[in-house]
Amino acid sequence: MPALSKRDQLVNTALAMFTRDGFHSTGINGILEEAGVAKMTLYKYFKSKDELVVAALRLRDERFRDWFMQYVEADDAGPRERLLRVFDALNLWFNDKSVPGDKFRGCTFVNAASEYHDIDNPVRSLCAEHKRMMSMYLRGLVVQAGLRNPDSLAQQLNLLVEGAISNAYVCGDKNSALTGKAAAEALIKAAG
């Protein structure tokens, strides 16, 4: 298997460090040291730190959504069970059982949005886009389950997802995914 390109080494290291220590707290020099890459190489591939941030978030988006959807759709569950498996996936994530070695530190995109207050920053667009894709995926699951008012229900379930993530991180409530699951079951039942 081929070694990672210098560019990929940078993006991987940057993502790990941004996730671990935050975006503004993580300096360029630290990333270069940990990645074992020269500064000039970084600025060959990226015009600025912000561009590196965007690249790291793109990688996170790809990895996370792949893992998430793969888990939800595994085990040949029926459409109804699949919808509830969303919360089982969250439960694994919160308890560090998603990607190996990946310590849960909240949603990387929520964290990024918290650090980049300027709504016009490309980082913010990327965060919103990630959340939009996650909620659209959820909507698809609701449609497949044949439930009434799929748009409305999907938006409500999405709040449970986002609330569980926030609560798991800020309050350290590792059980919040199961709370969300119980609420989801009630909403789904009510929606026939």
Partner DNA sequence: TATAAAATATACCGATCTGTATATAGAGTT
Partner DNA sequence: AACTCTATATACAGATCGGTATATTTTATA
Residues that bind DNA (CB under 7 A): 5-6, 26-30, 36-41, 43-44, 48-50
Q: From the CB of 38, what's the least distance to a copy of itself, in Å?
A: 26
Q: Which entry of a copy of itself, DNA, none binds 36, CB below 5 to 8 A by partner kind? A: DNA
Report the partner that residue 5 touches, choosing among DNA, a copy of itself, none (CB closer than 5 to 8 A by kind): DNA
User: Rounded CA gap, 100 and 20, in Å?
Assistant: 15
The minimum distance between CB 23 and DNA, in angstroms, equals 9
144 binds, among DNA, a copy of itself, none (CB under 5 to 8 A by kind): none
DSSP the chain: -PPPPHHHHHHHHHHHHHHHH-STTS-HHHHHHHHT--HHHHHHH-SSHHHHHHHHHHHHHHHHHHHHHHHHHGGG--HHHHHHHHHHHHHHHHTT-SSTT----S-HHHHHHHH---TTSHHHHHHHHHHHHHHHHHHHHHHHTT-SSHHHHHHHHHHHHHHHHHHHHHS--TTHHHHHHHHHHHHHHHT-
CB 25, min distance to DNA, A = 7
CB of 6 to DNA, least distance (A): 4
29 binds, among DNA, a copy of itself, none (CB under 5 to 8 A by kind): DNA
Between residues 8 and 163, which has the closer beta carbon with respect to a copy of itself? 163
| Residues contributing to the site for a copy of itself (CB under 8 A) | 20-22, 24-25, 105-106, 109-111, 113-115, 117, 119, 127-128, 131-132, 135, 152, 155-156, 158-167, 169-172, 176, 179-180, 182-183, 186-187, 189-191
Residue 165 binding: pick among DNA, a copy of itself, none (C-beta 5-8 Å cut-off by kind) = a copy of itself
- DSSP annotation string for 43-61: HHH-SSHHHHHHHHHHHHH
Q: Are 22 and 111 in contact (CB under 8 A)?
A: yes
Least Å distance, CB 142 to DNA, is: 41
